[in-house]
Structure 1
């Protein structure tokens, strides 16, 4: 899949939350949801299938904390997450195959000086998304991935319009210079509910030619649906959900966007 994600004038549907949904099904997954791919792969695959049935055109692998782990464990986690996606899509007959995304948070501290084992698994995905950035120093991880990854890199900011937060326009410019092929937002803060669309609008102003992704968090479905629609109006090309979002919410978003 080309990281143009299709025509710029099209709006496409991402999936929703992974970790929060897994925790809602089994409290054992609340602290380390990425381990569910190893300990309960059928549960993870069932979630991917549910998002695909809801209309998601891209699915994210459950490997969010992989870059926080030691090298061997990180590679094992990404491999297991890819296996869960493979199983889900092999058993989703009659549906167009969604794009496969590897979504990860930036690691702790500085990135490695070269290639690490988990990068060998990237050929199983269409793109890698470095998400939940909140500070400029984390862009070192974007540059590292852009150098070593064999697939395109996207990067998303936690939107925050409170004083002292990272300016989304600056984030977008720096991300582009660091090698990102797409930018956007994911998650958010309950006391900054309008930040998602504001951030997307600011990014669209400074990187008019880039694909923008939006995954606002869900605390209240009507407000989340409105935020997602506002993100599209602000220039997002791909829209979905983050923490708190479940397959039924993505299904409602698909209906909402068709209106």
Structure 2
């Protein structure tokens, strides 16, 4: 595996394995999305995801990672990321739930996230979901050889902030491959005073904007994992794993 500035560049075979890892993640997220409705617990989603991983013969990527105890991050409403599935957390009409999931397939990682509405949601909440998803796609469009990494960051930030939303700074996207988190970090905002690395074919990135209805400041709950918005306003999270190629960005995390 070649390296460029400490970043692993993947060949076609490796990207193919990552495509399958991410396809399985997407397929499981499809299944979970169909199950989401008012009255279910977030633990039921965890159980369904673990069962699906067993069926596909893959390992949940997050379970045990730095001590994280679950296969899924289930983050409801003001929870941004790393929320714990729970038998006590019952989804209610009008909620939103962000599900972040990864698997390991033949030594390579897949990683993707989506935010789902629970039943009917407010128009302002739907706007948050739509803009977050659009911000992700705007970022992906900039994942071209020769561009700067921060062209991705700027596209995400500009779109989200043009609607008055906040961009979480504490958590960023990342390279991915044989490790869940590899170089480079992929911020969803443009850091001041830092040059962005030039993008090259063979880079595989997990791009994942986390967008809030209010301020971008966060707090970590007593479980030492769950991140929430400081003002307790809603947050949405969408993520795709993409490969940078001479023909443009390829989204690997599609069903």
TM-score by length of 1: 0.33
RCO comparison, higher one (Cα < 8 Å, 6+)? 2
TM-score, normalised with respect to structure 2: 0.33
Q: Relative to total residues, which structure has the larger strand share, 1 or 2? A: 2
Greater helix fraction, Structure 1 or Structure 2: 1
